[in-house]
Amino acid sequence: MKIVITSSGNNANAKVDNHFGRCAFFVFYDTLTRGVEFLPNPFKEFEEGAGEAAVNLIAARGITKIVTGELGVKVKPILDSLKIQVIILRHKEKSIEEILNMLNHYA
Amino acid sequence: MPRPKRIRRMTNPPHFKGFKPVGLTEEPPVVIHYEEYEAIRLSDFELHGQVESARIMNVSRPTFARIYESARRKVAQAFVQGKPIVFEGGKVYFDSEWYSCKSCGCWFNHPSREEEVTHCALCGSAEFEQNKEGPL
């Protein structure tokens, strides 16, 4: 299973970024290989449509789950139609490492 | 036999059961289906066009128009004849199927409706509950 996490920095100590479309980095995590990849968000500076563009990017990579703090109203219906699950954190100060540890049960 | 109805999508049911006219004795109520409530909400509250509303409810534009018309007639009937309104029934499913985990405190939804939710999508805990309202 492939999961994307929105991150505010490019290392595992960084906190989760609360904005989905305009996060600083996307963290791609593959539960099978335990591979973690940080990708700078190419849509960060978009004035409009950052969320949709981000969905296209992650859908092309076969992501089935998103972990983030918030996401826009335009994005949710697209994710629903793609059957991508959304996980929204309520305690938003978690680091990427903590999230990855929580996802360990999928391995 | 008529063609089966397509299941209409809606976000949230009304959070109360209906309306009562002031100062009248109990009359048999007008039953407004959830899909009709949703049609009025989308058209007259959110001010979407019919094409847009139909897309949101996942039905065709003409079907949406029929649902909406039926809803308006029921409201008019209740207003004119002083009947109570109850919200009940209808062929709908709810778009907001948010769950919250008691262990890690996250919200998660469940886009594959066919499968049952057995554990929290984030931490894997079995301690979660279904919520009527989601974080969005």
Contacting B with CB below 8 Å, chain A residues are 65, 67, 70-71, 73, 76, 79-80, 83-91, 99, 102-103, 105-106
In this predicted model, what pLDDT tens digit does every residue of A29-84 receive, in sequence order? 999 998 999 999 999 998 888 999 999 999 999 999 999 988 887 888 788 778 89
| CATH number of A34's domain | 3.30.420.130
Shortest CA distance to A74 belongs to which of A57, A49, A44?
A: A49
**Separation CA A55–CA A75 (nearest Å):** 7
In this predicted model, what pLDDT tens digit does every residue of B81-111 receive, in sequence order? 999 999 988 787 766 568 888 888 888 888 7
Among A71, A76, A87, select the one facing B106 at the smallest CB separation.
Answer: A87
**Separation CA A13–CA A7 (nearest Å):** 10
Full-model pTM: 0.62
Among A83, A87, A91, select the one facing B112 at the smallest CB separation.
Answer: A83
Question: Which residues in A lie closer than 8 A to residue B104 (C-beta atoms)?
Answer: 91, 102
Max Cα-Cα span within chain B: 55
**Separation CA B124–CA A31 (nearest Å):** 13
Helix (H, G, I), strand (E, B) or coil at A82: coil
Question: Which residues in B lie closer than 8 A to residue A90 (C-beta atoms)?
Answer: 100, 105-107, 135
For residue A41, the one-letter residue type is N
State the total domains in chain A.
1
Q: Which domain holds residue A58?
A: 2-106
Question: Which residues in A lie closer than 8 A to residue B133 (C-beta atoms)?
Answer: none
**Separation CA B131–CA B101 (nearest Å):** 10
In this predicted model, what pLDDT tens digit does every residue of B15-25 receive, in sequence order? 678 899 998 88
DSSP state of A15: B
Burial of A18 (0-12, 13-18, 19+ CB in 10 A): middle
